[in-house]
Amino acid sequence: MRVAVFSTQPYDRKFLGEANQRLINAGGPRAGHELGFYESRLTAESVALAFGIPAVCVFVNDELDPLVLSMLSGGETKVVALRCAGFSNANVAEAERLGITIARVPAYSPHAVAEHTIGLMLALNRKLLNAHARIREGNSDLDGLLGFDLYGKTVGVIGTGRIGTIVTQILTGFGCQVLLNDVQRNPALANAGAKYVELGTLFAESDVITLHCPLTPETHHLINRESLAKAKPGVMLINTSRGGLINTAAAVEFLKTGQLGFLGLDVYEEESDIFFRGLSDYVIQDDTSLRLLTFPNVLVTRHQAFFTIESMRTIAETTLANLTAFERGEPLGANQVSVDMIR
């Protein structure tokens, strides 16, 4: 099947190209797909690139709003394959109304995101970036690099699904006390030295808080002035989930007073304009994102927590398998996004 692949970077072309080649080598009738790669995000301006092409493949910041979907439908596109698990960028009801199937990769490597989360915690706590910068300048002074033992500290994990569960397991291995909060409990975790508590208790007692719940109307700005005021002074906050969970302006205010002691972000509220792009000659308009970068106790990565060899292979293989199943009229099962998932 012909596929217009949007928002592609060299690594997308590499992993999708290699997975497609494996399908072709494995043979069989109509093996593999005809992939056309575009750097551009899918938007109302770029959608014309997909006209007449039955399949479109997109990522987290591509736009699947009613306008883009109707233009896709008018251009004879029948299936959209997301190279990610989340589908908050897609108007699923409108896609269903137009008869466009949306497929996704429900799980690739929760370990990748969990391990990056712990990486942010350790790098912030032990000031690894500052230490490395000093050493490069021949400065071996330890003053200013003082950290704390994670052993014995209390860590609050909000969202105990696939990623939150692994984060909890790693942290209990470190000897942390883990406080959990979720709308659905995972009984296996409560037996592993962690306990479920109300959100208020988690904010009040945690030295570190890490976010692993999805972005929904209920969780939008879960971290705000009120919740930050309830937290322990100097608390560390980590977000590898979705940017909209944190009111960034409130986080900046609390960083200034020291109430928020450390902030580690892999995701950011306004990320669609600035992430996954080279911006060295671009004037960034978002002052809050730039203000964040001025704090010595803030560490930002640009939505790379998932980015491991294992994840990229799984994403590429599952995406192509979704397209093959669609082409053959086979059911997509849990890989098909439906309105029932958002009710």
Q: Give the residue carrying structure tokens 């300048």.
A: 137
CA distance 284 to 310: 33
φ/ψ (deg, to 5) at 336: -90, 130
Contact status: 86 vs ligand NAD (CB under 6 A):
yes
Contact pick of 159, 243, 244, 264 for ligand NAD (by CB under 6 A): 159
The answer to whether residue 242 forms part of the interface with ligand NAD (CB under 6 A) is yes
> What contacts 323, CB < 8 A, 6 or more positions away?
1, 3, 33, 55, 57, 79, 81, 103
> Alpha-carbon distance 256 to 295, whole Å?
9
Question: Can you tell me which of 95, 163, 255, 298 binds ligand NAD, judged by CB under 6 A?
Answer: 163
Q: Judged by CB under 6 A, which stretch of 10-18, 93-101, 156-164, 329-337 contacts ligand NAD?
A: 156-164
- Nearest distance in Å: CB 159, ligand NAD: 3
Q: Is 242 a catalytic residue?
A: yes
Under the binding rule (CB under 6 A), the answer on residue 110 touching ligand NAD is yes
Out of 241, 247, 314, 335, name the contact with ligand NAD by CB under 6 A.
241
Nearer to ligand NAD, 183 or 284 (CB): 183
Cα angle vertex 179, ends 255, 240, to 5°? 50
Q: How far is the CB of 204 from ligand NAD (least distance, A)?
A: 17
**Alpha carbons 158 and 229: distance in angstroms, whole number:** 17
- Cβ proximity to ligand NAD: between 158 and 299 the closer is 158
Q: Does 214 bind ligand NAD (CB under 6 A)?
A: yes
Catalytic: which of 303, 310, 317, 330? Answer: 303
Token representation of residue 57: 């493949």
Q: Is 47 in the site for ligand NAD (CB under 6 A)?
A: no
Question: What is the closest distance, in whole angstroms, from the C-beta atom of residue 44 to ligand NAD in the complex?
Answer: 24
Known catalytic membership, residue 134 = no
The verdict on 224 binding ligand NAD (CB under 6 A) reads no
Cβ count within 10 A of residue 148: 13
Closest-approach residue to ligand NAD (CB):
161
The CB-of-301 to ligand NAD minimum distance in angstroms stands at: 9
Q: Which helix (H) or strand (E) holds 36?
A: strand 34-37
**Smallest gap, in angstroms, from Cβ of residue 264 to ligand NAD?**
11
Measured between alpha carbons, how far is residue 202 from residues 2, 116, 181, 212, 289 in Å? 49, 22, 8, 14, 27
Q: Does residue 240 bind ligand NAD (CB under 6 A)? A: yes
Largest CA distance in the chain: 66
The torsion angles phi and psi of 109, rounded to 5 degrees, stand at -135, 95
85 belongs to the binding site for ligand NAD (CB under 6 A): yes
Active site annotation includes 97: no
180 binds ligand NAD (CB under 6 A): no
The secondary structure element, H or E, covering residue 343 is none
Helices (H), the chain: 10-26, 66-74, 92-98, 110-125, 128-136, 162-174, 187-190, 199-205, 225-230, 248-257, 271-274, 287-292, 309-328
Residue 228 touches ligand NAD, criterion: CB under 6 A? no
Count of residues near ligand NAD by CB under 6 A: 29
Q: Is 153 in the site for ligand NAD (CB under 6 A)?
A: no
CA distance 279 to 290: 13
Q: Which is nearer to ligand NAD, 77 or 91 (CB)?
A: 91
User: 3-class SS at 178?
Assistant: strand
Interaction with ligand NAD in 266-305: which residues (CB under 6 A)? 266-267, 303, 305
Active site residues: 242, 271, 303
Q: Which residues bind ligand NAD (CB under 6 A)?
A: 85-86, 110, 113, 158-164, 181-184, 212-214, 216, 218-219, 240-242, 266-267, 303, 305-306
